Amino acid sequence: MKKKLLFIISIFVILTTIGIINVNQKAEAQSSFGGFSNVSPFIRVGDAITLRDTIDYIGTYANPIPYIIVDNLSASSTFITSAEFDYILVNEVATSSTFYAGDGTAAAPSMSFASDTDTGLYNGGDIIYVTNAGSRKHTFTSTYFRVGSTDSSASALLATAATNIVPSMLPAFLDDNTGIGHNSADELSLIAGGIEGLRIDFNELEVQPLMTLATGPIEFEEDSGAITAMNMPVSSDSSDGDEMSMSMSIDSNPILKVKASATGTGGADDFQVVVDPSGTFGSATLPSLAFGDGNTGFYESADNTLNFTINGASKWKVTSIGDIVDSVDYQKPFINFAEFSSDTVPGFGPRTNDRNTGIGSSGLDQLSLIAGGVEGIRINEIGDVTSTTINGNLEISDTGTSTLIIDSDSATQGACLKLSDFDSADYTYCIVQDGTMTCSTDSCE
């Protein structure tokens, strides 16, 4: 029995001795692992303290990757670099634990990868740089995230509150007032030079150009049907009579203006389409408003003078006083719309430069032939019978024999010639019947 007890005690002592040796070996190996000293060989889990096992590994059993677990590494003078271990795992035991890495460079970043040691992160003094293949690519600061290796070629995100004139996304880092901003909820602003140029507004379902829209061809969606290509809403903010217009110009020369006037209560009236609003172009060969091949149409040759041109030649024009006259030759006919026609004012004339000679009318069913503003002949119709009055002398002239023919279709009476006395109001009536003329003071009317 004693021998058996002694054997058991001996075995216990031997095992204890071996265990102590193993603990010391583990502690020694752990404290000098990877060339580090002052590394605790113990790990605290709750209230229990256990010894780390140096044979732990990550990776696979056949291809283990050495690593170290660091606890409470707080001395600012202690640094761990990637040259010491393939991997460093930080197990933060206390909340005050701090892991310190070297600043690094673009070629040798302080935080990198085992298979790519020149790609990672490094410090630049309150700046974090991202390096790739040994070259700095991106930059993080407290005010911006710059994407790009140099200022001149980079874009950026700014840590600022965007507005419709202050962008927070910059396509060019050095141009900090040009980029993408934010007007209000669901409203995106495109900003150039600190000025909002375009707004995409979900609230109004509109894309709003806020600068001059310089564009090439505009094509509407296929099979759009009846659409409103352009519209200008008019609110009650406008005053009565304010012009509301849209103009089309070429090389800053106005070609066409569509205009109206605000009512002051919301809406518009007095709608117009104005061709050549500045009155600076148009000719006989190139009329302002043309048809077909472009040489027939209308143009304004002078203020308040409208010309009609056909086949590149001006034919007629409406003058400022309302006449329609020949555009070139003033010896051609005219139509007088400036005055009321009368027995002294012709409405039509054979010559533009002789406006008081032509055809007029003193009233309904009366036609006057006027010369020099004086009625010479009047034709009057009463009861389907016309009468002709000659004011002035009737002169019959011919190089040969002159004949005055007065014909009558009466079955009972021939033609009657009424002659007035020179010095009285009496008349002499001459009747021709059966080849004989008989004159008396008896009326034949």
Residue 437 has a pLDDT of 80
- The domains of the chain are located at 25-97, 239-276, 411-445
Burial profile 403-417: b = 16 or more Cβ within 10 angstroms, e = fewer: eeeeeeeeeeebbbe
Q: What percent of the chain has a predicted confidence (pLDDT) above 90?
A: 35
pLDDT score recorded for residue 80: 45
In this prediction, residue 10 carries a pLDDT of: 52
User: What's the pLDDT score for residue 40?
Assistant: 45
Mean pLDDT in order along the chain per 10 residues (445 residues)? 50 43 36 40 47 45 45 41 42 43 87 90 92 93 90 90 95 94 96 95 92 87 89 92 92 91 93 87 88 90 86 85 76 83 90 89 91 91 85 72 66 72 75 79 76
Span 129-182, pLDDT tens digits: 999 999 999 999 999 999 988 888 899 999 999 999 999 999 999 999 999 999
The predicted pLDDT at position 407 comes to 67
Q: What is the predicted pLDDT for the residue at 71?
A: 43
Predicted local confidence at residue 315, as pLDDT: 84
Instruction: Return the pLDDT at 282.
Output: 87
pLDDT tens digit string along 2-60?
555 454 445 444 444 444 333 333 333 333 333 434 444 444 444 444 444 444 444 44
What pLDDT does residue 238 have?
Answer: 92
